[in-house]
Amino acid sequence: MEKRILGLDPGLAILGFGAITCTQISHKVQETTVNMLDFGVIRTSAGVEMGQRLCTLFDDLHTLMEELQPDLVAIEKLFFYRMSSTIVVAQARGVLILVLSQRRLPYVEFTPAQIKQALTGYGNADKSEVQEAVARELDLDEIPKPDDAADALAVALTASYQL
């Protein structure tokens, strides 16, 4: 049995995505293989009006869902220190949740600490430790770039550990 998980790292300027497949190898033993399917980012330009940027996210997310056909979506929860950044990302996140609701896709959310704990065993791990864990878990020769895409793969992996 195969399950597709799409991880998303929400943002207005850059929204990272990472898709993996989880395949159960044996019915008797809960052994699962995890493989990377795709990763990348959706970008919007700061020089464009906010409404148009949100429309771009909306359209591109629908296209992404159509192409990847995820069974489950995993989202990194908001965590920011500057209020202005939080508001902008929250708007992008609202569009993301709308797209998932329109497509009736189930989703789970994880805090940055939960993702770090799942991948490294340590909730205060730094970004490089998480990225190295992503490359190791997916048997990749190098860390996926840009960072937003690697973060999205980390979110997807965190969801896969809970299957």
d(CA 134, CA 153): 7
Query: Of these residues, 2, 49, 60, 76, which one is catalytic?
Result: 76
d(CA 117, CA 130): 9
Query: Of these residues, 9, 67, 142, 151, which one is catalytic?
Result: 9
142 assigned to active site: no
> Which residues have CB under 8 Å from 45's CB, separation 6+?
53
76 assigned to active site: yes
d(CA 74, CA 88): 20
Query: Of these residues, 31, 126, 147, 148, which one is catalytic?
Result: 148
Cα torsion 110, 97, 57, 64 to 10°: value is 80
9 assigned to active site: yes
Q: Across-strand partners of 41?
A: 16
d(CA 142, CA 131): 9
**Residues recognised as catalytic:** 9, 76, 148
